[in-house]
Amino acid sequence: MKKIKLLSIIVMMAAGIAQAQDSKYKVVFDMTSKDTVNQQALIRQVGYIRKANPDSKVEVVFYGQGLDLAVKGKTQQEAAITQLLSDKGISFKVCAVTMKRYNIDKTQLLPGVEIVDDGIYEIIQKQQEGWGYIKVAH
């Protein structure tokens, strides 16, 4: 009986250690705002996360009025986004549906920004994969 209890404890500890190793810092930001305060906060938070957690994965999904943040000449954050995009742990993605609605072509996007078919679906998919979720707002 003692051997079974000990074995059970060892198995549970091993499962806990394996789970802890899989739980990396992964967060997806939901950006739908054209508000410059929100844009500045987003850039600041993405930078803070990567600085504090160099192995973290950060994804920003733009749709709705947040699209301007990823379009050349439409954002004051262009230099900051370009710098963040040089980091392999950070990705910026825009919704193809929103691009179509606002008549934005992929050539108008900042270099390195990716396109996803549906921004909301992208966020839901990340959450199902265990990513944390942050809605950018103030």
Q: Does residue 14 form part of some domain?
A: no
Q: Does residue 7 form part of some domain?
A: no
Q: Does residue 38 form part of some domain?
A: yes
Domain limits at 78? 24-135
Q: Does residue 47 form part of some domain?
A: yes
Report percent pLDDT > 90 for the chain: 79
Q: How does residue 24 score in pLDDT terms, banded at 50, 70 and 90?
A: confident
Q: Does residue 65 form part of some domain?
A: yes
Q: Amino acid identity of 10?
A: I
Coil, strand or helix: which one is 27? strand
State the pLDDT at residue 137. 83
**Burial degree of 132 (CB within 10 A; 0-12, 13-18, 19+):** middle
Q: Which residues pair with 57 in a beta bridge?
A: 26
Residue 41, number of CB atoms within 10 A of its CB: 16
Q: Does residue 117 form part of some domain?
A: yes
Average of per-residue pLDDT across 23-50: 92
Residue 123 has pLDDT above 50, yes or no: yes
Domain with residue 66: its CATH number is 3.40.1260.10
Residue 8 has pLDDT above 50, yes or no: no
pTM score of the predicted model: 0.81
State the pLDDT at residue 16. 44
CA distances from 135 to 3, 4, 108 (A): 49, 47, 25
The model's pLDDT over 73-95, given as tens digits with 9 standing for 90+, comes to 998 999 999 999 999 999 999 99
Number of domains comprising the chain: 1
Q: Does residue 78 form part of some domain?
A: yes
Q: Does residue 116 form part of some domain?
A: yes
- Distance from C-alpha of 80 to C-alpha of 75, rounded to nearest angstrom: 10
Among 76, 77, 70, residue whose Cα is nearest residue 107: 70
Residue 6 has pLDDT above 60, yes or no: no
